[in-house]
Structure 1
């Protein structure tokens, strides 16, 4: 029962869409209405507000970390074991992808996945983040960096800890993240994917239109 409570709580935490919350707080247009229409930090950056994008990135990452931290460090006293932590990890990630508070329209999960990995183990998260940074710096594609980092995350976990229930959770998250990036994969193959910072002004008309009302 306690494992179920932790899992449901994790899903609800994950369902807080910081892209929408921060856009409202900064007086910006809903990120689901412009650019890629993805409620995530990269799309919020297209509004032209770096502060809102950073706040979104931190918030989405923090909720993944918090849910796993609670399960991993407070859960054992309530009978939540490794299998329960694995469920919590997947639940908070699913909450971000399909948030109950926002009609199940969520983001692609990159920041939240990183938060989950950092919650599971700091070195695991840092290794995955380093992979993202290297690929993003080399190729300037956020989506490509996310896909490659997602491929390497289970490998890093297995290398550090071997095979267990939490490795299964990391694999599931990686598969879901790649599924959510299916359109980006098509765009990359077709040479149509936008580079980091390449369309920063894409949301400007929507924001200006809102201010005129």
Structure 2
């Protein structure tokens, strides 16, 4: 039985995210439809982001766990992470650069053990790239400002988008706030990093 639990847990981690130190080109969303990914917009491939740091600079700013997720494209354990069951109202920021990316208004209980959202604050807040790790093709979600790995997006989410942005808590910072009085489209970058 112990072997079966360990095997099941390993499969969950493998399906979560890939851990790699590679820097790849990223797709940042724009307005026209992408035929490869029907839920995303056609994207331009870019090498540079507004926030550029060396590997050593990222290691000074981020904890080792944050670095493994955000820059190493890793994943965290399901159900024991910080935000999977967070029900507070507020804004989720990229933990690497402070860009606002999701709000509690689009967060939902997906049952996966990771924080899940059906829509980012705005399309430019995230980028996407193909992830062919673990003998499958998935769509990786990265921060549109610094290129840090956030998680993956799947086409099994709720309406109105049908998307599930399955993210790592360590890739996010949460700020509790009243969203009825907040213009989420024009939130400033969070100070601190």
TM value normalised by structure 1: 0.25
Structure number with larger C-alpha Rg? 1
Larger strand share, 1 or 2: 2
Larger helix share, 1 or 2: 1
